[in-house]
Copies of this chain bind each other. A is one copy, B any other.
Amino acid sequence: MKYLLSNIRISIKENIYLKDPESSSLGKRIVENSILLIDEIGFDLFTFKKLGTKIGSNESSIYRYFENKHMLLLYLTTWYWTWLEYQLVFSTNSLEDKELKLKKAVEVLTQTTTIDSAFSHIDKVVLKRIVISEFSKSYLTKEVDAENKEGYFSVYKRLVNRLKDFIIDVNTTYKYPKALASTIIEGAMHQHYLKDHFKSITECSKDLAPTIFFNDLVFKILKQN
């Protein structure tokens, strides 16, 4: 799998960036280090100036790749959802049994990323952490409807719909497959955040993965008439 993956490439719609960061070494350093810096100081305190200092480059050069830090965040989160979608399709593809397929899907979509399959310069473990704590900020804005029309969230929506399809395959009569799918994906990020910062309002912990909770939840819901 490692060898196969080393040949695939995550490509992101060109309207998110001004210049494709995959097209140059500076671009790659921008992406790679922005992930580390956002993880370190948080998106709110992150600036292109600080990133420039970190990579020994100029603020103005970064502006040639991304319009502003909001667009960079959209790029990073879209990259993550694209990568996760690939993981999802890849790891469920060979399964025959519909329940097993759903179980695997929930697992992929709710688990902590702990191993980095090491293709590309991007650290998936750190990226997952910033998706958990920063993704909401990419759509909780006044521009959300305009940006949604531009297609900036289409990968995320497609991923939710893939999970929805797995849900329907297990129980055709269940009335809210989309709401359930979106609740699982967003809820998993939330539970990961809670286990790290608000331990008193969840049973999830390093010993009890959110995956366990959500797989229990989804099958209890779907196996009921």
Query: Which A residues fall within an 8 A CB radius of B?
Result: 41-42, 44-45, 133-134, 136-137, 139-142, 144-145, 148, 153, 157, 160-161, 164, 175-183, 186-187, 190-191, 193-194, 197-198, 200-204, 210, 213, 216-217, 220-221, 223-224
Contacts and interface: CB of A to CB of B under 8 A. Distances in A.
Contact of A186 (B139, B187, B197, B221): B187
25 contacts: A42-B142, A44-B142, A45-B142, A136-B137, A137-B137, A139-B198, A140-B193, A145-B197, A148-B197, A153-B198, A157-B198, A164-B201, A176-B213, A176-B216, A178-B200, A178-B202, A179-B191, A181-B201, A182-B190, A182-B202, A186-B186, A186-B187, A187-B190, A220-B220, A220-B221
Contact of A200 (B141, B157, B190, B200): B157
A191 B182 contact: yes
Contact of A142 (B41, B144, B216, B220): B41
Given A176-B213, A202-B182, A220-B221, A140 B133 contact: yes
A175 B203 contact: yes
Nearest to A191: B179
Closest 7 CB pairs of A and B: A42-B142, A160-B201, A220-B224, A179-B202, A182-B201, A220-B221, A183-B187
A139 B197 contact: yes
A219 B136 CA distance: 29
B203 A141 contact: no
A141 B44 contact: yes
